[in-house]
Amino acid sequence: MSTPIDPIHEAAYVGDQRRAHWPATIAGFEAASAEIAARPGFVGDIGFGPHPRQRFDWYPAVGEPRGTLAYFHPGYWQMRDRTLFRCLMPVFAHMGLDVAMVGYPLCPEVSLAELTAAARASVPALRTHAREHRGRDLPMVAAGHSAGGHLAVELALTDWSVWNIEHGPIAAVVALSGVYDLEPLVATSLNAALRLDETSARAASPIRRVGALGCPALFAVGGGETVAFVEQNAAMAAAWAAAGHEARVLVSPGDDHFSLITRLRDGSGGLVAVIGALLDDTLAPG
């Protein structure tokens, strides 16, 4: 039996988050991303698993790379695609990172647990790619927006010894406008695809599993997003810090869910500077 929709949660995570500029903003991302795909050095559609959406696009660092960034796209784990956000690749490349835009299968075709496992499979593939193309292992930065922020945190919490990776490969996390406690989504229209109940929502909530595994992280959100998103950001950062991991927080004044990403793409506001500082403090020079 499905859970009735709670109008408060529905407003907080769906209705009140939307802004009139989003269609035009996303269309701008799409056009700019098409231009990136035509640039020298860009390599698209590299497979890392059996599902057709388990693909990543790769863009080289400017200068000697000091790490690989794996970026996971938004869409509440049920929509959108990595190709829309290729326009962000040069921003991170200028920070000295090889950049991978990582795709993953979507709900309801797969469960959220299966989706997360499919996203994790990108890590050994990106490590292999670095060895083949750079001749060495590179530290990894897990990054993402919205659902992608959730996945970035999940990568940092993963016990990689299960994947035959001896040392934790994730050196830093950049989590933007993420959802880390999924229980409120059970009573929203989003759950038609997610198919969560209280138990599975808790299991899928990284905020409940922060422990000894972790790394320095930035948790950023737009100050103009709903209170629920701002509180999710603050609570995740607090849980991260309480577990003994470095947690940096940015609330970007006035920004909504996608204007925050516009700032990242354009290098305006404080977001790029804060990300750059995290990388400078975490990664060795290239």
What is the per-residue pLDDT across 201-257, written as a single tens digit (0 to 9) for each? 999 999 999 999 999 999 999 999 999 999 999 999 999 999 999 999 999 999 999
- pLDDT score of 167: 81
CA 152 → CA 70, 103, 147, distances in Å? 8, 13, 9
Residue 265: what pLDDT? Answer: 94
Phi-psi domain of 102 (left: phi exceeds 0; alpha: psi -120 through 50; beta: other): beta
Whole-number pLDDT of residue 184: 98
> Which CATH code of 3.40.50.1820, 1.10.10.10, 2.60.40.10, 3.20.20.100 fits the domain covering 7-282?
3.40.50.1820
pLDDT in tens, the chain (286 residues): 478 999 999 999 999 998 999 999 999 999 999 999 999 999 999 999 999 999 999 999 999 999 999 999 999 999 999 999 999 999 999 999 999 999 999 999 999 999 999 999 999 999 999 999 999 999 999 999 999 999 999 999 999 998 888 788 999 999 999 999 999 999 999 999 999 999 999 999 999 999 999 999 999 999 999 999 999 999 999 999 999 999 999 999 999 999 999 999 998 889 999 999 999 999 988 7
What does the alpha-carbon distance between residue 225 and residue 207 come to, in Å, rounded to a whole number? 20
Structure confidence at residue 114 (pLDDT): 98
| CA separation for the pair 187, 86 (Å, rounded) | 33
* Predicted pLDDT at 1: 47
SS3 of the chain: CCCCCCHHHHHHHCHHHCCCCHHHHHHHHHHHHHHHHCCCCCEEEEECCCCCCCEEEEECCCCCCCEEEEEECCCCCCCCCHHHHHHHHHHHHCCCEEEEEECCCCCCCCCHHHHHHHHHCHHHHHHHHHHHHHCCCCCEEEEEECHHHHHHHHHHHCCHHHHCCCCCCEEEEEEECCCCCCHHHHHCCCHHHHCCCHHHHHHCCHHHCCCCCCCCEEEEEECCCCHHHHHHHHHHHHHHHHCCCCEEEEEECCCCCCHHHHHHHHCCCCHHHHHHHHHHHHCCCC
Could you identify the residue written with the tokens 């035509």?
Answer: 38
pLDDT value at residue 285: 82
Please tell me the pTM assigned to this model: 0.96
At residue 2, the pLDDT reads: 74
pLDDT value, residue 216 = 98
